[in-house]
């Protein structure tokens, strides 16, 4: 079946950039997503990218997609303590599918 892999932990200093990486196996993905989970809360969509794009920028967030290598990354510029959370990469199973496969999440710790 499909698989999504992420590193489990990332620690950065406040003000630095954070880069969270993800690899996936499903070549039929239409959209790839980044969700954020704060302590004690559900997941919240942060951003997404269409599989035919290679980059998307949204304020402090930059998503890069290398479809050939099935590699997705999320860059957070000027990381703040409020960015401390778990970040999940997810992909769908192709057009018309709303069933997502999630990675195990990367816990981002921001050091003041």
Region near another protein per CB under 8 A, out of 9-17, 51-59, 66-74, 97-105: 97-105
Distance of CA 112 to the CA centre of its chain: 23
In whole angstroms, how close is the CB of 112 to another protein at the nearest point?
A: 26
Cβ distance to another protein smaller for residue 24 or 88: 88
* Minimum separation from the CB atom of position 42 to another protein (A): 3
Q: Which is nearer to another protein, 45 or 77 (CB)?
A: 45
What is the separation, in whole angstroms, between the first and last Cα of the chain?
Answer: 40
Q: Is 106 in the site for another protein (CB under 8 A)?
A: no
Residues numbered 14-43 forming contacts with another protein, rule: CB under 8 A: 31, 33, 40-43
CA atoms within 13 A on the CB side of 54: 4
Closer CB to another protein, 41 or 55, in the complex: 41
94 within 8 A of 30, measured Cβ to Cβ: yes
Instruction: Determine if 112 is a binding residue for another protein (CB under 8 A).
Output: no
| CB within 8 Å of 78: residues ≥ 6 apart | 15, 17, 60
Inter-CA distances, 108 with 1, 26, 27, Å: 27, 25, 27
Binding site for another protein (CB under 8 A): 31, 33, 40-45, 48, 88, 98-105
């Amino acid at each position: 079946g499909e698989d999504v892999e992420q590193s489990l932990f990332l620690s950065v200093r406040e003000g630095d950039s954070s880069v969270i990486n993800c690899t996936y196996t499903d070549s039929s993905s239409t959209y790839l997503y980044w969700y954020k989970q704060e302590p004690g809360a559900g997941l919240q969509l942060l951003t997404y990218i269409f599989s035919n794009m290679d980059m998307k920028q949204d304020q402090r967030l930059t998503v890069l997609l290398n479809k050939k290598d099935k590699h997705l990354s999320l860059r957070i510029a000027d990381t703040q303590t409020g960015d401390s959370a778990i970040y999940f990469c997810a992909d769908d199973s192709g057009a018309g599918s709303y069933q997502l496969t999630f990675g195990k999440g990367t816990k981002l710790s921001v050091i003041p």
